[in-house]
Chains A and B, each alone.
Chain A
Amino acid sequence: MKRVLPGFGLSLGFTLVYLSLLVLLPLSGLVFKSSALSLGQFWDIATGERALASYRVSFGASLLAALINAFFGLIVAWVLVRYSFPGKRFVDSLVDLPFALPTAVAGITLATLYADTGWIGRHLDPLGLKVAFTPLGIVVALTFIGLPFVVRTLQPVIEDIEPEVEEAAATLGATRWQTFRRVLLPGILPALLTGFTLAFSRAIGEYGSVIFIAGNMPLISEITPLLIISKLEQYDVIGATALACVMLAISFLLLLAVNGLQWWAANRHRGKEGALS
């Protein structure tokens, strides 16, 4: 096929070089450095009791936070696109704040708010709910930093859905739930998955904000990045790269799985369209 725009070869070459320099090179350096370990040593570090506990905390909290963000982020994005209300611009710009705020500031602020004596924590404490310095605090911090990813991914997609589509569905006798489930959701789903993935992967790597609210108790509220820092504190760079490689591998597999899911969601939709036409 003849392309309208020239320079495919050049731009592809540029893309590959750019990605290699920026992403592949440092990451392969990481893997290379950890190869100084024998397989047995690597395995011992990667499957130590505290390491295993930290994967559970890191990936579990990230997953939970991304799910919370997917649900509430969808509502926020929907409201911000579909309704107009006074102060909408202001609310809209609030969404970006977690992007801009240094994560340490976010962590310290959240820890102060959710501590037993904090504005929020002191109302949760009588209910027996402890947030700051527990794994729950980690989820709160990760939810905070992940919010913009979901909202900003969804907004343009929701903007593209014409209100007439909903009206058409209604005139054809669809209930509100059916309209949402059958008409709106299929269009939003790929973007929702992207937003979820972004929020999830951002949360896995997060260190700055979590460290101030987590409490950092071994086996309970230690995230994997903290263990990596702990290795670096011992000048054990190789050990740190081993843990980093494990994180990298798990993250990569998870992202691959989500991307597969996304592809499936998009294709299923397209398949139906194909059948209709």
Chain B
Amino acid sequence: MSGSIRKLLAGALATGWMAAALPVFAQTSLLNVSYDVARDFYRDYNPLFQKYWKEKTGAPIEIKQSHAGSSKQVRAVADGLEADVVTMNQASDVDFLADKGLVARDYATKFPDNASPYTSTMVFIVRKGNPKGLRDWPDLVEPGVQVILPHPKNTGNGRYSYLAAWGYALRQPGGNDGTALEFVGKLLKNAPLFASGGRDATTTFMQRKIGDVLVSFESEAELIAREFGKGEFDVIYPSLSILAEFPVAIVEKVVNKKGTRKEAQAYLEHLWSKDGQENAAQNYLRPRDAGVREKYAAQFPPIRTFSVDEVFGGWSRAFPAHFKDGGSFDQIYQSK
């Protein structure tokens, strides 16, 4: 039911946009459908690209943004929202579009670095001075430690936290799926609640002062500093964490129809340019470019990470194994 409503809405929106675009016929317009917290990043990035495009081709280009929870977004695209490009925070969301035939199956090879222009990782945010002395994942499963994280099954942020802990346990001596399940189970027992999203978790931890440690993206820590002040918390880097990748892709079906392939390609490619990479670093996302990484080294302490591909064989395996109904998360919450 909601699908058809969304289709209707998307149709209405699309016609609205088309009508709006008619008077400025000459100007090409791209729609970038993105995840929720990428707002700041693309607000800064779009003018950079527009300037670059104008200099290169002499033609102006209009970029429209749409932001919401990532799985909602890709469902809207699947239902007919005419996105030229999608910029997501999890491969599973783009995979869904590939399944629907909207995005190339091998989208990850169409751009460098697994089609992810920047990365991030999961870190611990603790109270000022780290009163509980939390240094690494095993400290988080100690009795009496309260861990705040968003819902591991329903949110991208929570899923990364979950897989980070799982991967850590797996990589310990004697680690296997059984020990990992036990480890993550203990960790989740220390969660007094599951926040409904990344920002809700931040509010719960920072404003309501609940919990001893918040597990979140490294980039989120910087946003917390802007909002609540640097002196309110410490950021702890665990010995091992997960590499969060943010895949981008061209929506083939839409660019073929609209004839915007060239623009869409350039738009995404430019993310890897010096400007694009600097913009990522300024938004506290780890740039891929070695030179830019060097320049912002102080901001990004070294941390050992593993990717979802390395440990879990990609999102297409990790998702069903852990987050689908009957996956490891559900097993933890099965009463005996």
Q: Mark A193-235, 1 if CB is under 8 A from B, else 0.
A: 0000000000000000001101111110100001001111111
Nearest first, the 5 A-B pairs at minimum CB distance are A215-B193, A218-B333, A133-B193, A115-B208, A216-B194
Flag whether B154 is at the interface (Cβ < 8 A).
Answer: yes
Flag whether B323 is at the interface (Cβ < 8 A).
Answer: yes
Task: Name B5's closest neighbour in chain A (CB-CB).
Answer: A26
Given contacts A232-B71, A241-B1, whether A50 and B333 have CB atoms under 8 Å apart is yes
Which residues in A have some Cβ–Cβ distance to B below 8 Å? 26-27, 29-30, 33, 48-50, 108, 111-112, 115-118, 132-133, 211-212, 214-219, 221, 226, 229-237, 239, 241, 244
Which residues in B have some Cβ–Cβ distance to A below 8 Å? 1-5, 71, 75, 96, 151, 153-155, 191-196, 200, 203-204, 207-210, 319, 323-325, 330, 333-335
Q: How far is the CB of A235 from chain B (nearest CB, A)?
A: 6
* Besides A26-B1, A49-B334, 16 new A-B residue pairs in contact (Cβ under 8 A), listed by A number: A29-B4, A108-B203, A112-B207, A115-B210, A117-B208, A133-B192, A133-B193, A211-B196, A215-B194, A217-B191, A217-B194, A221-B193, A233-B153, A233-B155, A234-B319, A234-B323
Q: How far is the CB of B178 from chain A (nearest CB, A)?
A: 21
Contact B194 A117 (CB under 8 A): no
Chain A to chain B contacts (Cβ below 8 Å), 30 pairs: A26-B1, A29-B1, A29-B4, A30-B1, A49-B334, A50-B330, A108-B200, A112-B207, A115-B209, A115-B210, A116-B208, A117-B209, A117-B210, A118-B208, A132-B208, A133-B193, A211-B196, A215-B192, A216-B151, A216-B196, A217-B191, A217-B193, A219-B333, A230-B154, A231-B325, A232-B75, A233-B71, A233-B153, A233-B155, A237-B3
List of A residues within 8 angstroms of B325 by Cβ:
48, 231, 234, 236, 239
Tell me the complex Cα distance, A111–B197, Å: 14
Q: How far is the CB of A30 from chain B (nearest CB, A)?
A: 5
Contact B210 A116 (CB under 8 A): yes
Q: How far is the CB of B9 from chain A (nearest CB, A)?
A: 14
Contact B75 A235 (CB under 8 A): yes
List of A residues within 8 angstroms of B154 by Cβ:
226, 229-230, 233
